């Protein structure tokens, strides 16, 4: 038996010097109740479930299993196991640095991975792991410039996480007052540090707010916002959260205000890119119930219940969308 480190996984190899497997059987042996020799006269025992169980365990861990064999000489069984770092890298590229403590908690809660993991992002201030991904940054900044041309106003971000994006977003609009919020106040330390280090003046103290719990919204009573952002929430949150988010938005957004929701989504039940499908498959493979891409239609349905309409869907360079919602004009 041997093991070899690959870029994002470890490849294990188990070799025997047995009878070998005919080439037309090397794939079917991973099916349930499959034996190379299924006749009553065979001498070896077993139910034919072993490799099927192995395959399902390996797949649950984001890996692959297969075999190579030479008749009369023996077989080599291979399987890969995704490294924890691969999951980290995968998520940190897609959603920014912000979620590490949240995802760690979700993963721990569902006991999906070992708890002692290396830090998600060793360079938290690096532009290359910026919020929303490097490839979308210019498109997003351009979009903000166009939609918020006055270069001023009050902006709130729901589920801001540790707010890597303020590095890029807030300083860009010199007169914007930017208020991060999140359910989890632990993630705010990064915002405080960043705000201090970059001497950013326009970031308000982050507020703890749970989009599912209306009683936590009262901290914002009396405030009005020109724009509200929600970035990369839905791939790690249940769709049920959309209702609270829209109700909260409807209470806080000016009549002329805009709600921006950014992230990867499904469109009418379909993936629009193979990469989103792959991303979703990986998220789902970790079996954390909150994880997985949501459908734009379900978010829009929640928005409409609270008087908000989808005004625009902007497709981003790296398989993400920005959805822009605003109040539907009153009829009559």
The CA dihedral of 215, 216, 220, 222, to the nearest 10 degrees, is 10
Smaller CB separation from ligand SAM, 102 or 296: 102
Give CA–CA dist 327/100, Å, rounded: 34
- Rounded to a whole number of angstroms, the minimum distance from the CB of residue 170 to ligand SAM is 13
- Rounded to a whole number of angstroms, the minimum distance from the CB of residue 241 to ligand SAM is 5
φ, ψ at 299 (rounded to 5°): -70, -40
Contact between 77 and 14 (Cβ < 8 Å): yes
Bridge partners (DSSP) listed for residue 317: none
- Rounded to a whole number of angstroms, the minimum distance from the CB of residue 23 to ligand SAM is 46
**Six-digit token string for 28:** 């079917």
Smaller CB separation from ligand SAM, 86 or 183: 183
φ, ψ at 203 (rounded to 5°): -105, 115
Contact between 211 and 159 (Cβ < 8 Å): yes
Contact between 203 and 180 (Cβ < 8 Å): yes
- Rounded to a whole number of angstroms, the minimum distance from the CB of residue 145 to ligand SAM is 19
- Rounded to a whole number of angstroms, the minimum distance from the CB of residue 98 to ligand SAM is 4
Count of alpha carbons within 13 angstroms of residue 25, beta-carbon side? 15
Find the residue with minimal CB distance to ligand SAM. 161
- Rounded to a whole number of angstroms, the minimum distance from the CB of residue 165 to ligand SAM is 6
* Helix-helix angle 241-252:296-305, to 10 degrees: 50
**Six-digit token string for 254:** 């000016």
Give CA–CA dist 296/190, Å, rounded: 30
**Six-digit token string for 33:** 């109740």
- By C-alpha distance, which of 90, 94, 86, 97 is closest to 122? 97
Ordered alpha helix ranges (H), 69-158: 84-95, 100-109, 134-147
Q: Which residues, including other chains, have CB under 8 Å from residue 140's CB and lie 6 or more apart?
A: 132, 262, 316, 322
**Six-digit token string for 295:** 């459908």
In total, the chain counts a number of residues equal to 332
- Rounded to a whole number of angstroms, the minimum distance from the CB of residue 326 to ligand SAM is 20
Smaller CB separation from ligand SAM, 130 or 148: 130
Residue tagged 């079917």 (tokens): 28
- Rounded to a whole number of angstroms, the minimum distance from the CB of residue 262 to ligand SAM is 7
- Rounded to a whole number of angstroms, the minimum distance from the CB of residue 54 to ligand SAM is 33
Smaller CB separation from ligand SAM, 58 or 316: 316
List contacts with ligand SAM (CB under 6 A).
95-96, 98-99, 102, 131-132, 158-161, 164, 182-184, 187, 209-212, 231-233, 236-237, 241
């Amino acid at each position: 038996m041997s093991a070899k480190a690959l870029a994002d996984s470890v490849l294990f190899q188990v070799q025997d010097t047995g009878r070998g497997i005919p080439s037309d059987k090397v794939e079917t042996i991973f099916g349930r109740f499959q034996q190379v020799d299924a006749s009553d006269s065979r001498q070896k025992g077993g139910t034919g479930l072993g490799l099927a169980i192995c395959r399902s365990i390996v797949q649950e861990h984001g890996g692959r299993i297969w075999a190579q064999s030479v008749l009369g000489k023996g077989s080599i069984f291979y399987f890969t196991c995704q490294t924890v770092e691969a999951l980290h890298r995968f998520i940190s590229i897609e959603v920014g640095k912000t979620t590490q403590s949240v995802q760690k908690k979700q993963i721990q809660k569902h006991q999906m991975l070992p708890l002692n993991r290396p830090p998600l992002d060793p360079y938290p201030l690096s532009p290359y792991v910026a919020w929303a991904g490097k490839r979308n940054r210019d498109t997003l900044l351009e979009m903000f410039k166009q939609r918020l041309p006055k270069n001023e106003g009050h902006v709130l971000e729901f589920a801001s996480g540790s707010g890597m994006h303020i590095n890029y977003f807030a300083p860009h609009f010199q007169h914007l007052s930017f208020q991060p919020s999140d359910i989890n106040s632990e993630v705010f330390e990064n915002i405080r540090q960043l705000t201090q280090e970059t001497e950013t003046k326009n970031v308000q103290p982050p507020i703890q707010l749970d989009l599912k719990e209306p009683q936590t919204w009262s901290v914002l009573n009396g405030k009005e916002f020109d724009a509200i952002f929600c970035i990369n929430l839905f791939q790690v949150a249940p769709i049920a959260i959309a209702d609270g988010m829209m109700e909260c938005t409807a209470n806080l957004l000016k009549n002329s205000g805009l709600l921006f929701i950014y992230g990867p989504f499904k469109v009418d039940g379909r993936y629009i890119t193979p990469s989103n499908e792959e991303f979703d498959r990986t998220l789902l493979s970790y079996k954390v119930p909150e994880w997985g891409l949501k459908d734009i239609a379900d978010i829009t349905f929640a928005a409409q219940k609270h008087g908000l309409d989808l005004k625009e869907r902007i497709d981003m360079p790296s398989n993400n969308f920005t959805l822009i919602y605003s109040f539907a004009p009153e009829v009559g």
